[in-house]
Structure 1
Amino acid sequence: MSTPSKPIARQASRSSSIARSPFSSSYLSSSPIAQASLARDLAEYSEDEIETAENGEDDSSDDESSEASTVKPGERNHSMASSYRRPSFVAFGGTRPAIAPHPHEATYLSKKERKQSRAEERSLLRDNNLAPPKHGQPAKRGALGQLYKRVFGTRRPVEEGDAENPPMDPSFTAEPSETSLLLPNGVPESHRNQKERLNKQWEEAVASGLIKTTWQREAKTIFGYAGPLTITFLLQYSLTVASIFTVGRLGTIELGAVSLASMTANITGYAIYQGLATSLDTLCAQAYGSGRKQLVGLQLQRMVWFLWCLTIPIGIFWLSAEKVLEYIVPEKRSAELAGLYLRVLLAGAPGYSCFEAGKRFVQAQGLFSATTYVLLIGAPLNAFMNWLFVWHFGWGFIGAPIAVAITDNLLPLLLFLYVYFVDGHQCWNGFTRKAFRNWGPMVRLAIPGLLMVEAEFLAFEILTLASSYFSTTHLAAQSVLATITGITFQIPFPISIAASTRVANLIGATLTDAAKTSAKVAFVIASLVGLLNVVLLSAARNYIPQLFTNDKEVVHLVATVLPICAAFQLFDALAANANGLLRGLGRQEIGGYVNLFCYYVIAMPISFGTAFGWGWELEGLWSGVALALGLVAGIEAWFLARTNWQDAVEAAKSRNNAG
């Protein structure tokens, strides 16, 4: 009995330290299903395998673990994640989320995130005049310098009310310099003591209510979070847009067929892969957080084999999709081309599913930039291959799915090269037969994600199917409209993710006023982005369609409907931002229910009633969506306005203590 107790004790010690850092995320829950799966996987490893895996790990986290060991039972457990900690949302940016998966959050921070946490705390202390500035201040500032500092400076001015607050211990109100980093006996202060001093300084400032924020700081933070995500989403969405741009020049039927094929692929394939892979957001994260890095690679292998098994029935359907679509779509030629597209696309399905699982593998390790680097290579290559195959080689319509299939298989290869040569290989312990066992917990965690992502895709893809009943021109126009609104959505959606992250972190740090300020800034930014999209689509409604097709009827129809799409851009941005703030408050279920009700109970009946009953056709289809988005934005904004933010802080404390 005494022999196996060593690794178990080591695991308990490591697990107790995984979440320790002073600036807290409000999400420190864990999944019992994932914990049971982790325990079962560990039981299948021999003691020698466990010892080998642990000896192979780097000891970079030892310092952090020693810091964590100072946390007393019941003490507030703070941690700040500077990067977005919901990997599932990074998985897809091409659709407008109706109901987004909300997996359990990981109970750990990576080494990089812990470092960013401390940097964030130091910066807040400086901005609140509780620590000396990082850089020396110039004796005099010019007029432009003073104006820049007043408009964009993040430091809070010293107010009269600040003097009423109780002073802090002088030993903790200044950061050490090159000359002050000495203890009384002349020994340099240790790295651990520095962190303990910062933790104590931060705790005192929070307890005294001295930590405030400014709109300038929150705006910079939100833009900093949203920038990389916007690039990632636009790159991933460009994989679909490239085919529509290229094929749109071939003709109206081809343009409509691409839209029809993409809709079918999304509903019957891509949504399944993405939904099921969301279970790795929990399984890989908890395996990594437990310190058992070899289990992260095991979870990846298990999911890849599972998705490849599901590719068999998906492939059977795609091979026979032409016959199925002929019964649904009035235009037989569109169904024929869509079936051809899907048959070729099937060659890329294994690679696509592998990439979806691989993204979770690297994101669980905090390597969120890995997929961005991969897409920076894959997206331009995809666009180039579309042009090369369709136009330069003269392959025509079939060249587009060939380019997509090659890209789908290229992305996991590029991700593998990143892991092998750059970072992430620490969690790969080789292929193992254990990947073919213990699938039950993975499937149970995957089913909810599958249902939610399917609902998300269906809400808008149904409109594409409905447009085919009007004419081929309407189907082509719907393809263009869906693509345009998809592109514009890639800006407010990352902002909503940034707002979610920032508000969750501030609430977890018990900074209620700062969280409110950040939420207000996020709403202003979302409003500006929405208005910008409104002006852009309205002003260029006669020119944007010409980028997709030369067909005058399609261009005219898109230009006619585009003002409706432009009108709801503001609602779209506000609804996305409200969803993000609800996630930050830990009330994501509210957004899910509101979206479900507005899209399926209100939008769909109105869209079909006005489109088919009143004869508004495409204008009717999009009118229902516009109304639904307005209702979503209004209902969620009303809920946020009535929310007791202090209750959210107390709930975050409970989750942190439970974690």
Structure 2
Amino acid sequence: MDSPSSSTGPQPIVNSRPGGRRRSILSDFLSDSLPQPSSFLSTSPGIAREILTQDIAECSSSDDDDEQAAASDAESASGPADAKLAFHPNGIVWGAGCSLVPTHSRDRPVPNPHEVEESLHAELSLLRDNAILPPKHRRPRTTNAFARLYRRNFSTKVRDHEGPIVPDVAVETTPMLREIPPTPGPEEIERRFEFAVAHHEIRTTWQREAKTLIQYSTPLIATFLMHYSVTIGSVLTVGRLGLVELAAVNLATMTASITCYVPVQGLATCLDTLCAQAYGSGHKHLVGLQAQRMTWLLWILMVPIALLWWFSEPILAALVPSKETASLAATFLRVLIAGMPGVAMLESGKRFVQSQGLFKATTYALMMGAPLSFLQNWLFVFKFGWGFVGAAAAMAITQNLLPLLLVLYVWLVDGSRCWNGFSRKALRNWGPMIKLALPGMIMIEAQFSVLEVLTLCAGQFGTSQLAAQSILVTVTSTSFNIPFPLAIATSTRVANLIGADLSQAAKVTAKVSIIAACMVGCFNLLLFTTFRDLLPRIFTDDVEVIRIASQALLVCGVMQVFDAIAAVAHGLLRGIGQQAIGSYANLFSYYLVALPISLSTAFALGWRLTGLWAGITVGLLCVSVIELAYLHQTDWEVAAAQAADRLRSEDVAEVKLRRHSHSSYHMEV
């Protein structure tokens, strides 16, 4: 870690040398021999605007819709126009996440009132840190050495790190000196912030960025762990039934993920753009319409998937040698068909509340649903004696319960302003939405499929190996819920700093996040290696499975370091609008590096399960190197300038969209 003074000195934001390349963010870690990057690729929300324009044209004849849109316009006009530093999860909803694979997201969410408020708080903090605004609380002078040491190491204020802190010679005791000027209003904060940015007066410290990342990622970690606990509860319960059952639940859940859950998440990512665009344009009633449309689409697509699950036994029997394992896995899938409607509703519902800034709505639903999931597993499997089928029933019921809890939140607490009831209009205008949704689904599906391949390979080694694979997938997926939220926080913070033309501050955030990723990875490594004999015992009592899982956990522990770095590096790429680079790096590393190594070490060298995870570890190392190398040779000042160009072009398009919607309404009237 660089010292505070070295990373947050008084240099201006733009400090490139004529004819040369400025020092890059990772120049302290990698060599300077990499070539100059090409310009950033611009992303266009044209499809989203096309969908919104068509919906506005169809819905503008409704008086209620227009009154709501007019009220939305008036409400948006009364507040600040921009949300430069809003703490939103940049295209990834709370409670969503895939094991090992970072998800594809959009570049620029449309700010909502919640995000505008958070943006003002962030701008206010930076202004106070740079002494442009007075502090919230006047700090008394002191000669306490501990206080000076604390300020030097943990203070977020820039001036505390510009030079040595000497003991003060006086102590403020006069009440007059303790009075602090009142905090200015939002307009004044915006004016001072823009002035300070224009004059390169805004700097940050690694302490400020570390505090920001911790504040944002901590609730996300809790939320993601609660979301994944639904799967953990079933695996823990089934593991106590027997070896074959533990192997079957892994085969079933991985098959369900690759054929349903991951495609549903990928398709629903288009709502990150559509719902946010509808809300940001002032047509709140269209937020519910977009969510309805996606839900209907997902329900229709689930019909053939349900048929596949119902008749999956011969397919699974052809892929794994154990007929009993294939039969139990097919039974598990048949029961999970009952949870399909809830899966679609939850993915659409999460985007529906997120677009309104209600990021914690899903968290509250999970806080109630996750404990009930564990209770249902105990009741159905052991108390009622349903056995293996009971675990599947508990998962299916929870999948339907979570969206119902989300609906109750919207109905009783907040979010109903964007719901105008069910409408037949949701059955039209599907073409552009599908065109927007397919790329995200294909990319996530392609990245996630490698885990299904490894699961099927593990099944070739016997029931014990497949049962151990279930433990490893569960443990590594759980541990991934620490670096993945950190990556989301990093992506959001960097995107907003770049968008606010604070590229130097974004570099500080990036350095902090990379070091934080290394720390998280090392923590998981220590956890895996220290408790490698204990962790498998949580899932099963079978001695052979424990031995296999314990041996493979050593490799999985090493993988944790590269997994964390790759996740955060991909978050940085999302933050600068280059998530496509990370996606292609994942595809290359998984299919051309990881998969061949996994198959070679597992089958040719006879390493079996350990060999499968050794290939994944090398693949993640490759992803980390590629993404860090790209970040190293990236010119972040150019990225900030191009982000400003994109924002200006999108703002122009947004103004045209608003004018078109108003003109369409008046022509209809």
TM-score, normalised with respect to structure 2: 0.86
Residue-by-residue CA offset, 1:458-486 (whole Å, 9 max, x unaligned)? 12121111100010000000110111111
Residue-by-residue CA offset, 1:242-290 (whole Å, 9 max, x unaligned)? 1111100111100000000001111111122111111211111111111
| Residue in structure 2 matched with residue 80 of structure 1 by the alignment | 85
Structure 1 residue 55 displacement after superposition: 5.8
CA distance in 1, matches of 2:370, 2:491: 27
Residue-by-residue CA offset, 1:485-534 (whole Å, 9 max, x unaligned)? 11111101111111111111111111122111111111111111111111
CA distance in 2, matches of 1:645, 1:581: 11
What is the DSSP-based 3-state SS (H/G/I as helix, E as strand, rest coil) of the residue aligned with 1:133?
coil
| Residue in structure 2 matched with residue 153 of structure 1 by the alignment | 155
Task: Flag structure 2 segments of 5+ consecutive residues without an equivalent.
Answer: 1-39, 164-178, 651-669
| Residue in structure 2 matched with residue 172 of structure 1 by the alignment | none
Code of the residue aligned with 1:234 in structure 2: it is L
Bigger drift between 634-643 and 487-496 goes to 634-643
Relative distance call for 1:141 and 1:178 in structure 2 (3 A) is closer
Would the aligned equivalents of 1:78 and 1:656 in 2 still touch at CA under 8 Å? no
What is the DSSP-based 3-state SS (H/G/I as helix, E as strand, rest coil) of the residue aligned with 2:247?
helix
Relative distance call for 1:159 and 1:535 in structure 2 (3 A) is closer
Runs of 4+ in 1 over 6 A off after TM superposition: 26-29, 158-161, 177-181
| Residue in structure 1 matched with residue 166 of structure 2 by the alignment | none
Q: Within the alignment, does 1:480 sit opposite 2:471 as a pair?
A: yes
**Equivalent residue for 1:54, pick from 41, 57, 69:** 69
Relative distance call for 1:554 and 1:180 in structure 2 (3 A) is closer
Code of the residue aligned with 2:88 in structure 1: it is S
Once the two structures are superposed, the pairs formed by residues 396-407 of structure 1 within 5 Å of their partners are 396-407=387-398
What is the DSSP-based 3-state SS (H/G/I as helix, E as strand, rest coil) of the residue aligned with 1:473?
helix
Q: Within the alignment, does 1:611 sit opposite 2:613 as a pair?
A: no
Relative distance call for 1:33 and 1:131 in structure 2 (3 A) is same
Once the two structures are superposed, the pairs formed by residues 270-349 of structure 1 within 5 Å of their partners are 270-349=261-340
Q: Within the alignment, does 1:97 sit opposite 2:112 as a pair?
A: no
CA-based RMSD of the aligned residues comes to 2.1
Q: Within the alignment, does 1:414 sit opposite 2:405 as a pair?
A: yes
Once the two structures are superposed, the pairs formed by residues 218-617 of structure 1 within 5 Å of their partners are 218-617=209-608
What is the DSSP-based 3-state SS (H/G/I as helix, E as strand, rest coil) of the residue aligned with 2:414?
coil
What is the DSSP-based 3-state SS (H/G/I as helix, E as strand, rest coil) of the residue aligned with 1:83?
coil
CA distance in 2, matches of 1:391, 1:369: 33
Structure 1 residue 27 displacement after superposition: 12
Residue-by-residue CA offset, 1:366-420 (whole Å, 9 max, x unaligned)? 1111111111111111011111111122211111000001101101110000000
Structure 1 residue 431 displacement after superposition: 1.1
CA distance in 2, matches of 1:488, 1:252: 23
| Residue in structure 2 matched with residue 32 of structure 1 by the alignment | 46
Residue-by-residue CA offset, 1:40-91 (whole Å, 9 max, x unaligned)? 1122221524333336659543321xx54xxxxxxxx762212222135x46
Would the aligned equivalents of 1:78 and 1:509 in 2 still touch at CA under 8 Å? no
Q: Percent identity?
A: 50
| Residue in structure 2 matched with residue 11 of structure 1 by the alignment | none
Relative distance call for 1:320 and 1:141 in structure 2 (3 A) is farther
Would the aligned equivalents of 1:30 and 1:105 in 2 still touch at CA under 8 Å? no
CA distance in 2, matches of 1:456, 1:515: 28
Relative distance call for 1:621 and 1:292 in structure 2 (3 A) is same
Residue-by-residue CA offset, 1:583-607 (whole Å, 9 max, x unaligned)? 1121111111111100001110111
Q: Within the alignment, does 1:647 sit opposite 2:638 as a pair?
A: yes
What is the DSSP-based 3-state SS (H/G/I as helix, E as strand, rest coil) of the residue aligned with 2:349?
helix
Relative distance call for 1:104 and 1:49 in structure 2 (3 A) is farther
Bigger drift between 336-345 and 303-312 goes to 303-312
Relative distance call for 1:552 and 1:130 in structure 2 (3 A) is same
Would the aligned equivalents of 1:256 and 1:476 in 2 still touch at CA under 8 Å? yes
CA distance in 2, matches of 1:28, 1:620: 40
CA distance in 2, matches of 1:200, 1:359: 34
Relative distance call for 1:349 and 1:513 in structure 2 (3 A) is same
Would the aligned equivalents of 2:239 and 2:246 in 1 still touch at CA under 8 Å? yes
What is the DSSP-based 3-state SS (H/G/I as helix, E as strand, rest coil) of the residue aligned with 2:224?
helix
Code of the residue aligned with 1:557 in structure 2: it is I
What is the DSSP-based 3-state SS (H/G/I as helix, E as strand, rest coil) of the residue aligned with 2:187?
helix
Code of the residue aligned with 2:223 in structure 1: it is T
**Equivalent residue for 1:63, pick from 78, 99, 102:** 78
**Equivalent residue for 2:186, pick from 173, 180, 195:** 195
Code of the residue aligned with 1:226 in structure 2: it is S
Would the aligned equivalents of 1:329 and 1:469 in 2 still touch at CA under 8 Å? yes
CA distance in 1, matches of 2:514, 2:553: 25
Q: Within the alignment, does 1:630 sit opposite 2:621 as a pair?
A: yes
| Residue in structure 2 matched with residue 20 of structure 1 by the alignment | none
What is the DSSP-based 3-state SS (H/G/I as helix, E as strand, rest coil) of the residue aligned with 2:159?
coil
Relative distance call for 1:519 and 1:56 in structure 2 (3 A) is closer
CA distance in 1, matches of 2:90, 2:470: 33
What is the DSSP-based 3-state SS (H/G/I as helix, E as strand, rest coil) of the residue aligned with 1:44?
helix
Structure 1 residue 346 displacement after superposition: 0.5
